[in-house]
Chains A and B, each alone.
Chain A
């Protein structure tokens, strides 16, 4: 058996006295797409943020290709290069043009020359249909366009794993489709992704595996066809029932 790309082992995290992740185990293989679903506050986003060390955790271990993320061999920036993340609120730098948003980390963190970084950025922007906006500022773009720039920014360092944290939750409904298409294309190209989402249709469509979280635990973990049509855990059933009643599935 090969080493999983991302291995999460017995991960436990508290915010103060509140237990947000409770002995989470999860392996994600190369080229695999795993969707994390569950109610707000179930620990999905925190799990993603633990993986690229945006928040510390209290117990357990996370390994990338078998190497713990706090291993000195990653250096100061190695982990950042391997893992890209896209946020719900885009978090683009508003004072920088699109091209500079995308090239900032390659140039300042990873020492790529300006021409090389810009060439790569233009290539990625082109792939996502954003080439014409390279010289614009984020506030001149629609939400969907900004989110695509954020995806390009996360891809600019050629990461091995892409973390997507509710990337369509802040978008107007008519803009969601365009962003999700980009993710489908990334899957087709073999990108390893962990996706926190409330778009159940999208999760069913794109995921190789879906994990249902509640109160910091993964209660159920199975291929989307099984999880959505025949959920085993009563909590999963309740959650999906509410989603269906809200007309989201």
Chain B
């Protein structure tokens, strides 16, 4: 066959962008906006700080919430609790990612034999997504251990985590499903024409694209779960919030809560920033594809 003819039919793309036009700005034009931003921001926040600290209740607030000694005293306890949060979070993330995709696959299967799986998925999602997380945590975390079933652990932490996993699996499977449905029909047609089975089509064509489509949405759920692990405190699991609560009950000082807050923020803010970055990159990728 004439490969030269075919190859030369399309001209090579021009390499490299054009150099930018260099703008000539005076120092004043260049630095004035930055200076205005810095000064006005400092002014507003300074004023706010001034108003807060000059209030007659400030010393009381400072003592109750920002007592450095109380913070230092509660930190080891709260931090060890926070490690429990992180452990539960990481393990739950892995289990949820897997279970969510299983439920999503159940729901998107076609054919009469898959009907029980489809119905199961629909009922599961309706029930678990419609129930407040705190209720699930109470039901499982307190309810299951109370059954005293032989051979089953009575750990509240374990069963409370199971409740979170089940609830978040419902959300996650819906996210996966939206990703599956966003894959163009042509992909299924191509896979079918090539002879791939329904399962091979999912495995090699649909799922890889679907997962890539929904990574930003999944990361958002991961951030939400990071905070919702704190719900385990209501069943007495010794995680960060519970530890802070214990400290407060003993000393009537709320600084331990601030310690817990800071620990959570240290974990969630980078995670949220990372999510934003991935989302933005993903949008740029899509934009590029449509060009």
Does A54 interact with chain B (Cβ within 8 Å)?
Answer: yes
Q: Which of B1, B195, B204 contacts A185 (CB 8 A)?
A: B1
Inter-subunit contact A109/B4 (CB<8 Å): no
Chain A CB within 8 A of B72 CB: no
In the complex, chain A residues 87-102 whose Cβ is within 8 Å of any chain B Cβ:
87, 89, 91-96
Partner of A91 from the list B1, B189, B289 (CB cut-off 8 Å) is: B189
A142, closest chain B residue (CB) = B10
Using A181-B5, A185-B1 as known contacts, say yes or no to A105 and B194 having CB atoms under 8 A apart: yes
Q: Which residues of A contact B194 (CB under 8 A)?
A: 80, 104-105, 109, 153, 157
Tell whether A197 is near chain B: CB-to-CB under 8 Å. no
Chain A residues with CB under 8 Å of B9's CB are 144, 174-175, 177-178, 181
Indicate if the CB atoms of A185 and B2 lie closer than 8 Å.
Answer: yes
Q: For residue B253, give the distance in angstroms from its CB to the closest CB of chain A.
A: 54
Main secondary structure of the interface of B (DSSP, over half): helix
Chain B, interface residues (CB within 8 Å), range: 20 to 34
Do B3 and A127 touch (CB < 8 A)?
Answer: yes
Q: For this complex, into which size category does the number of interface residues on chain A fall? A: 35 or more
Query: How many Å lie between the Cα of A92 and that of B194 in the bound state?
Result: 11
Tell me the complex Cα distance, A127–B213, Å: 35
The interface residues of chain B lying within 8 Å CB-to-CB of A157 are 194-195
| Complex interface residues of chain B between 172 and 201 (CB less than 8 A to chain A) | 184, 186-187, 189-190, 192-197, 200
Is B205 in contact with chain A by the CB < 8 A criterion?
A: yes
A169 to B: closest C-beta gap in Å: 13
A109 to chain B: closest residue by CB: B195
Residues of B within 8 A of A182 (CB): 1, 6
A139 touches B289 (CB 8 A): yes
| Contact of B208 with A by CB under 8 A | yes
- How far is B196's CA from A96's CA once the two chains are assembled, in angstroms? 15
- The CB with the most chain A CB atoms within 10 A, among B3, B186, B212, B289, is that of B3
List, in ascending order, chain B residues with CB within 8 A of A60's CB: none
Chain A residues at the B interface, C-beta cutoff of 8 Å = 52, 54, 76-77, 80-81, 84-85, 87, 89, 91-96, 104-105, 108-110, 126-130, 139, 142, 144-145, 148, 153, 157, 174-175, 177-178, 181-182, 185, 189
Can you list 5 A-B pairs with a CB-CB distance of less than 8 A? A95-B209, A109-B194, A139-B289, A144-B10, A177-B9
